[in-house]
Structures are given as C-alpha cells and as structure tokens.
Amino acid sequence: MSSLRDRINKLRSTGASEPTPAAREAQAPAPPETVRPEEKEAQHVVKKQKISLGREQYQELKRSIHGKLLDALDLSILSEMKEEEVKEQIRTVATRLLEQGSVTFNRRERENFVQEIVDEVLGFGPLEPLLQDPSISDILVNGDKQVYVEKEGRLFVTDVEFKDNPHLRHVMDRIVSTVGRHIDESSPMCDARLPDGSRVNAIIPPLAVDYPVLSIRKFRKDALSVEDLLNRGTMGADVAEVAKACVRARLNVLISGGTGAGKTTMLNIMSAYISHRERIVTIEDSAELQLQQPHVVRLETRPPNIEGRGEVTQYELLINSLRMRPDRIILGEVRGREALDMLQAMNTGHDGSMCTVHANSPRDALARLETMVAMGGHDLPQSAVRQQISSALDVILQMQRLPDGTRKMTYFTEVLGMEGEIVTMQDIFRFERKGVGKDGESLGNHVATGVQPRFLDRLRAAGMNLSPAFFMPRK
C-alpha cells in the first residue's frame, strides 16, 4: 500500500496540477439516482448481504478499498486542503466505495473500517489507535501477528495485526522516512522518532532472525511534573525539595538507571528548575527532552547515509556545543568517547550540567564512566580518570523500575571526592522496600540516612537554606 500523505506532500512541494475531468467526476457528490422501472426491479433482485468476514477476507477488502480510493481521489485538490479536510474527504469517498460493494457493516463496524482506511493512507496503519492511546507508554511489534503494549509498567498482548510482514515493513519505512532515514538490507537497523517525538527502533532480517521488529517508546504530550512523581511515589517530598535546591545551586547531576527506569523523565523534571535566564544546550541521539525555558538549543546526532558518510556523533556535537556559549549542557545519555569531554565541561565553567547513564547502582555508574573514558582511546592513568569523575560530579540519582512496573528513585547519592585510589560517596536518601502488597505492588518509602551532605554550604551560598530536618530519619 502506497502512502497518500507522501504523494500529497510531493504535490504540495512541486505545485498542484489542474484536476482532470475524470478525477473531478470521482470527487463530486453522487447525483440523485434516476432509475427506470425495469432497472429498479433488477436492483431489488441483487441485494447486499451482511456476511462475517475472516481475517484474510477483511484485509483483502481493506486492500481493495484502499486501491480504489487512490484511483478516485484527486490528489491535486487534496494537496490544497488542510489535513482535517483531507481526512474528511477520504472518509466520504471510502464510505461511498464501501456502500457500492457487496459487503455491508452495521454503523459501528463501518466507522471502524473507514477509520482504519484513513489510518492506512495518512497515518501508521494498525499502530495508529495505539499511538493515540495516552495510557500506552511502549508499543512492541514482533512480526505481523504479535503486538504488545506497556501500560503502567506492565506488558499486555493486543489483537492488533498487520496483513503480512511486507505490510509491517511498509509502515516501518514510512516511520523512518519522516526523519530522513531508511531501513533495508544494507542498513537493517535504524533509530528514528515519530512527529510527536516518540522514540523508535526498527530492525529487520537478517539481523532479526524471524521477522521485522519495531519498538516505540511513546512521547508524552503532557510532560510529567514533580507533583505527578510525588503522587506516584517515585520520590518523596523531602527528596524533591533537595533535588530542586541542587539544580538551582548549579550542582552537576548524573542520573543513573536501567532501560525504562525513568531516567529521561527525571532529567526533564530536574531541568524544569533551571533559571529562565540561562542558555541551555541539549545533546541527544533522538530529541525527546521537553525543556520549558525560552533559551534552549537542541542538538541531535545524525547516522551515516547510505554511502556510510555524514555521521555526526554526540562527541562531535559536545565539542561543538562548547563553542556555543552554553550556561549548562544537558547530555541525553553518555555512552561513548564523549564521557571525558562531558566531565571536563563540568569541571571548566559549565556548572549545573546534567546527563544520564545506564547503570544499576551509583557505584556502577562511576565504573561505567571510567570504562567509557578508557574506550574513547584516552591514554590516561586510572587515578587521573577517577579524579576527573570525583571533581566533576556532585550528585547521582539512581532510578529503578520495580517488579510491579513502578519507577522509584532508589538512591540520592553525594559524590565526596577521592580517598586514595577510590571515589568516595555517601547516600543522602534511599528507598526502603518493605515487601509486596496483596495486588503485587511493591511497598516501601523514601527515608533520609541521617547524613548531612557536604554540598549544604554550596546550597546556602546560592540562597537555598534547607532545614537540617530534611536529612534526619523520621519515625
């Protein structure tokens, strides 16, 4: 099935041609029927029958209506319409074509069928209802017959299916092409994003052995707030107040956690505390941060083209960002040779910068940074790397997704400095798990360890006067 949207956009960019008489006739409303008596009698003989269609018959009917729809519509007229008008025109023509066939549906079935046609020609086919559902956070497609979604941290199988794997491949091509990327045998995996910012990963055979695989991390239209995290128990009120003070006092923050633990969400929320007077540069593989400040410069990496040229990495963007006079740099995720340059930026006038890293604990996060610096080809002694890490980072926030699907900040850790060859840290807050509830939910709460952080002096110097009671254990 070809993409009507692409054909309309092409006409819009090149200039629409004069509609043909045949197309005008197809677009025009059907005139009142004038039927002779003998024809009317024949029409009563051939009546539509309501039948139950199997899956293959249903898909074939969709394919047939889709083909007739493209023949009936005048793209030169549609290219001058707004999107809602185009959708309404498609609904009108698709309904008429369906009524001309031998299969009838009740009202609800007809509306669903026509909406699927609209999704097929203008959207992302069977995935469109899932993309519109705000309760779904992830969509996982394993071939044409198996689609899972994540809701509230748990996976559920759906009844969504594609006609076949080529149909799925067509939808994948449409998704990655929206950001100027491609996926084929020469480039069988691809990272992309949807128009709303949702993160997409696609991988096809031969790398995916059995079938094409598509993973979509949906982008929330309404960014979560601190109040949302407090209501969900992601962190406690005292933790949130201290985190707010750390950002405003320009402490360097590293957010650590596993896949889907809520690192980017926490990074978004922490960034909301940054002053609107500051210039912020963000660097990401796939732009998904939702900063609300007016002076934000968003940079995004670029993969190599089909000839293997033109790649722009996070490392190159980070080096370039240092020449852009940023007050703070926010790096979506540290994953390679840019680790050392990010640490150096934090140490050379870009206080208050933030980044994320994949790790299971604060100590593991430091070890990963050390490893990434070594992998970058920097011939530095281990002690020098650790000195850079200990002087650059002030706070580590550890995020974790628990077995019940909820996300928690499990550690709020201060980086103290070096003692001998070891980077020393101390936990200021932690999440204490207390078992499992009757519905399988994880029980627990955030508690202070009783340790007074050393960064309190920096908070006071910045006008953040926190009460010592924030850091005292509560009964």
Amino acid at 72: A
pLDDT of residue 431: 95
Closest Cα to residue 285, out of 373, 352, 350, 358? Answer: 358
Q: How far is the CA of 426 from the CAs of 18, 351, 451, 460, in angstroms?
A: 73, 21, 8, 20
Which of 139-167 are b and which e, b meaning 16 or more Cβ less than 10 Å from the residue's Cβ? bbbbbbeebebbeebeeeebebbbbebeb
383 compared with 112, residue with greater pLDDT: 383
Confidence of residue 351 (pLDDT cuts 50, 70, 90): very high
31 compared with 292, residue with greater pLDDT: 292
Strand partners, 192: 200
pLDDT of residue 260: 85
Phi/psi at 155 (5° precision): -90, 140
Confidence of residue 176 (pLDDT cuts 50, 70, 90): confident
Instruction: Give the integer Cα–Cα distance in Å for 344 and 455.
Output: 20
pLDDT > 70: what percent of the chain? 84
- Mean pLDDT, the chain, integer: 82
Least confident of 9-18, 150-159, 361-370, 397-406: 9-18
Report, in this order, helix, strand and coil percent for the chain, each rounded to 5.
40, 20, 40
pLDDT tens digits, one per residue of 379-416:
889 899 999 999 999 999 999 999 888 899 999 999 99
Q: How far is the CA of 209 from the CAs of 81, 138, 141, 192, 231, in angstroms?
A: 43, 22, 14, 21, 43
437 compared with 394, residue with greater pLDDT: 394
Amino acid at 277: R
Confidence of residue 134 (pLDDT cuts 50, 70, 90): confident
pLDDT of residue 388: 93
Residue 406 three-state SS:
coil
Confidence of residue 475 (pLDDT cuts 50, 70, 90): low
Instruction: Give me the mean pLDDT over the 287-295 stretch.
Output: 86
What count of residues does the chain have?
475
Contact present, 373 and 340 (Cβ < 8 Å): yes
Structure tokens belonging to residue 334: 């540290």
Instruction: Give the integer Cα–Cα distance in Å for 115 and 94.
Output: 9
The structure's pTM equals: 0.75
Residue 178 three-state SS:
coil
Phi/psi at 132 (5° precision): -85, -10
Q: Cβ of 424: how many Cβ atoms within 10 Å?
A: 12
What is the signed CA dihedral for 309, 311, 317, 320, rounded to 10 degrees?
Answer: 0
Instruction: Give the integer Cα–Cα distance in Å for 321 and 370.
Output: 23
Evaluate if residue 457 carries a pLDDT over 70.
Answer: yes
Residues 6 or more apart in contact with residue 166 via CB below 8 angstroms = none
Confidence of residue 29 (pLDDT cuts 50, 70, 90): very low
Residues 6 or more apart in contact with residue 184 via CB below 8 angstroms = 204
Which of 190-207 are b and which e, b meaning 16 or more Cβ less than 10 Å from the residue's Cβ? bbbbbeebbbbebbbeee
What is the signed CA dihedral for 440, 139, 267, 356, rounded to 10 degrees?
Answer: 100
48 compared with 288, residue with greater pLDDT: 288
pLDDT of residue 74: 61
